[in-house]
Amino acid sequence: MFEVKRYPLPQPLPVKVSGLKGLSLPVEYNLDTRRVRFLSALENTRYTAFDPRNADQRYYPGEALSWNQPELVVNLVPEETGFKLERHNPTEQPLTAELKRGRTSRRWPPSAGRGRCNPGKSGKSR
């Protein structure tokens, strides 16, 4: 977590985020507005931009969720009142995976824990 003080820059401040796990969903979480934005990537490095022109802001750029199975496809889908976790097992074998929350919050994102995903199946949860 870090804080960006209000400052009249001519444009948003670009930020490079490195050191994230490969099997994770990286986000920028604004602790003041509670806004979540997914980080864009280029060559295994994530990027975002902070806009200090209007107010002081506290940000957490990092992993919202990580998992331990490289075959598992995981995504957070925005909804009107939050997010749904989508997971898909494209293999022909069942997968047991551990999903771990990042430091964003104790309750967000949803569905952290250990679970099983059947072969060729997809699932959603809150």
Give Cβ neighbours of residue 49 (< 8 Å, ≥ 6 apart).
12, 13, 14, 15
14-29: average pLDDT: 85
Distance CA 22, CA 41 (A): 11
Q: Residue holding tokens 């097992």?
A: 89
Supply the pTM of this predicted model: 0.75
Any idea where the domains of the chain sit in the sequence? 2-125
Collect all residues with Cβ–Cβ distance below 8 Å to 58 and sequence separation of at least 6: 1, 2, 3, 4, 30, 31, 32
- Report residue 94's pLDDT band, with 50, 70 and 90 as the boundaries: very high
Query: Is the bond into 70 cis (omega within 30 degrees of 0)?
Result: no
In this prediction, residue 106 carries a pLDDT of 55
Q: What is the pLDDT of residues 22-66, one digit of tens each?
A: 888 888 888 888 788 888 888 778 898 888 888 898 888 888 888
